[in-house]
Structure 1
Amino acid sequence: MMSGFSRSSAAGLLAAASVLTLAACGSGSAETAATSGKPEVVAAFYPLQWLSEQVGGSDVQVSVLTSPGVEPHDVELGIQQVTALRDAALTVYIKGIQPAVDDAVDADKSFDAATAVATLPAGEHAEEEEAHGHEEVSYDPHLWLDPARLATVATKLGERLGAADPAHAQAYKDRAAGTAATLGALDQEIAKGLTTCKSKTLVTAHEAFGYLADRYKLKQIGITLDPETEPSPARLSEVAKLARAEGVSTIFTETLVNPKVAEVLANEVGAKTAVLDPLESKPSGDYLSAMRDNLKTLQTALGCTA
């Protein structure tokens, strides 16, 4: 028996010991930020890291809570990460993706990107998410897969950084405007690339692509809401029936998710599989190149003509 420690305290210390190294990942660690003299911005996971770097530029030090190749939903916070959140000038996150982050952020020094845009309702299988102990939110949090919404987030982030660091407020505003313009151009490129598609239906490993589907007038059918949850036989049968009815030729799997279920479904309906990146972790390039790769994948899978 450990005198003086509650069970939760002991569990917390063990969790902290196992993830101490995670705080140093990304474009900068908490220690680097502390010695640089620049305001630290802590981003919860990759798309928000990319956005913070674009808007913050050389005036901030950006660190990220989620290591490359790690599923963001799985992240737990260690001592260094909690300290980084406490000391940061601003934490950028999306409520509903990472319950540990939701619980740890300081409301006065954080920016929930979901508050900057019109959100979509949670997926049709949200009850499954709640049943598996995940954070309850009434909306789909995967908003970064719509470049137009992300452009709105960029503008708001510029304002929040300016409030946290008034000496560089104009620079943040200017970079936010430039980033929003870049994302607007990407949005137009994707819209143009998906206007002539024979099919408009996406059957995806999990329901991460609702914003992409909403923006570009596509229809998403997700096998599951939670990428870690095995679908029931009834759900697989239902999706197979829908895929046949829609004439789907491709089942989309994704990075960081075991493709087995998607492959079984593809075999069942006589389709192939292709990888569509939800950008929850850092891609081989950056946000812009990964979204363009997604566009190419969609054009091939949906039969889009140039």
Structure 2
Amino acid sequence: MNVRRLISTTALAGATALGLVTLSACSGTSSAGGGKGGGTLDVVVSFYPMQYLAEEIGGDHVEVTTLTKPGVEPHDLELKPRQASELRQADYVLYLKGVQPAVDEAIAQSGVEHTVDAATLTTMESHGTEVGHDHGHEGEEHEGGEHEGQGGEEHDAGAGADPHVWLDPVKYAEVAQGVGDSLAKADPAHAADYRKNTGTLVGKLKALDAKFADGLRNGTTKTFITTHSAFGYLAERYGLDQHGIAGIDPESEPSPARIKELQSVARQEKVSTVFFETLASDRTARTLAKDTGLRTDVLDPLEGITDRSRGDDYLSVMESNLAALQKALGAK
């Protein structure tokens, strides 16, 4: 655990305690159909990929609050006392275990009845700095379902599992189906709308999958280098080989041996581009590119949307990612 995460986890206990004190002085948005009264369902999500699902599926029946504000690197989020209070008052909480340790702990302590870990809604795998079409599917398989508060069964993604399932449209669609089912359970009065919205979103994700499959079918290389090893699921889905400068944690620093290895990969696999992202430092990527005579470009792991994002929502940024990969891989 790095220092900032340690600080985040330590600060969490105080934040949660203060949230308990201030809870009676705060009023959450009330919900329809089994919530805290009339109105919309008060939904708290951990970060952008969960926010997108909640908003697309929930529609007008939900009011969504995200714990990770735009521009904040989600892996190192530190919860404020106000956020701890918001979390405890929610009607429904959606998160992805393994991305944000401080959030995971706060949710475990929140006592919210309808709490859903997206990692339980699809199959999680273990990925390192290298992954591709010739690598086996590793990790644990999970049954879909909802973790209902303190009394429900919680399916753990497993130590070392790669949490970046949203970057594979097929897996993201599986998560969307589970979110739709759980929202219908939390708010049965609007279950039909949640199921309809889920069907619409899944259709969009299937169309996105088809675009990626067709757009990446042919290329001069299957190999790409990226700062943050977030694209393991995407690489396996579309027969690519990801080589990450850092590991799953975007803050890990590569060793000199790793840099030398990547330089060799770039030469052997005819790599043209080193990718970096919008929410983390591009210093190492630019240094590697300069040393090997490669271009740089953005491949967005979609952990947050900012004014620097190449698109204003999940679908548009993923389409920008596809265009960037096509250019880098020589795909037509």
TM-score tier by shorter-chain length is 0.7 to 0.9
Matched residue, 1:150:
172
Task: Decide whether the 8 Å contact of 1:33 with 1:62 is kept in 2.
Answer: no
Question: How far does residue 66 in structure 1 lie from its aligned partner after superposition?
Answer: 0.5
Residue type at the aligned position of 1:81: Q
Question: How far does residue 37 in structure 1 lie from its aligned partner after superposition?
Answer: 2.7
Task: Decide whether the 8 Å contact of 1:43 with 1:93 is kept in 2.
Answer: yes
TM-score by length of 1: 0.84
Partner deviation per Cα, 1:70-101 (whole Å, 9 max, x = no partner): 10011111222112221212111111100011
The separation in 2 between residues aligned to 1:113 and 1:187, in whole angstroms, is 19
Matched residue, 2:298:
275
Residue type at the aligned position of 1:111: V
**SS across alignment from 1:187:** helix
Is structure 2 residue 58 aligned with structure 1 residue 53? no
Partner deviation per Cα, 1:14-34 (whole Å, 9 max, x = no partner): 985xxx9xxxxxxxxx96735
Is structure 2 residue 222 aligned with structure 1 residue 200? yes
Task: Decide whether the 8 Å contact of 1:15 with 1:76 is kept in 2.
Answer: no
Matched residue, 2:272:
249
Is structure 2 residue 49 aligned with structure 1 residue 44? no
The separation in 1 between residues aligned to 2:180 and 2:297, in whole angstroms, is 36
CA 1:66–1:235 in 2, change beyond 3 Å: closer, same or farther?
A: same
The separation in 2 between residues aligned to 1:210 and 1:197, in whole angstroms, is 19
Question: How far does residue 104 in structure 1 lie from its aligned partner after superposition?
Answer: 1.2
The separation in 2 between residues aligned to 1:13 and 1:112, in whole angstroms, is 19
Residue type at the aligned position of 1:46: Y
The separation in 1 between residues aligned to 2:264 and 2:27, in whole angstroms, is 53
Q: How many residues align?
A: 276
Question: Which moves more between the two structures, 227-236 or 290-299?
Answer: 227-236
CA 1:193–1:45 in 2, change beyond 3 Å: closer, same or farther?
A: same
Matched residue, 1:130:
none
The 5 A counterparts of 1:254-269 are: 254-269=277-292
Residue type at the aligned position of 2:75: H
Task: Decide whether the 8 Å contact of 1:210 with 1:220 is kept in 2.
Answer: yes
Deviating above 4 A after TM superposition, structure 1's stretches of 4 or more consecutive aligned residues are: 13-16
**SS across alignment from 2:29:** helix
Residue type at the aligned position of 1:70: V
Matched residue, 1:102:
104
Matched residue, 1:33:
29
**SS across alignment from 2:227:** strand
CA 1:82–1:248 in 2, change beyond 3 Å: closer, same or farther?
A: same
The separation in 1 between residues aligned to 2:330 and 2:114, in whole angstroms, is 46
Matched residue, 2:208:
186
The separation in 2 between residues aligned to 1:55 and 1:302, in whole angstroms, is 34
Question: Which moves more between the two structures, 277-286 or 139-148?
Answer: 277-286
Residue type at the aligned position of 2:331: C
Residue type at the aligned position of 2:82: Q
Task: Decide whether the 8 Å contact of 2:223 with 2:240 is kept in 1.
Answer: yes
CA 1:190–1:164 in 2, change beyond 3 Å: closer, same or farther?
A: same
In structure 1, list runs of 5 or more residues that go unmatched.
1-7, 21-29, 126-134
Q: CA RMSD in A?
A: 2.5
In structure 2, list runs of 5 or more residues that go unmatched.
1-6, 20-25, 32-37, 131-156
Is structure 2 residue 112 aligned with structure 1 residue 116? no
Matched residue, 2:313:
286
Matched residue, 2:189:
167
Task: Decide whether the 8 Å contact of 1:116 with 1:153 is kept in 2.
Answer: yes
Partner deviation per Cα, 1:190-246 (whole Å, 9 max, x = no partner): 111111111111111011111111111111000111211221112111221222221
Partner deviation per Cα, 1:147-194 (whole Å, 9 max, x = no partner): 111111111101100111111111111111111111111111111111
% same residue: 47
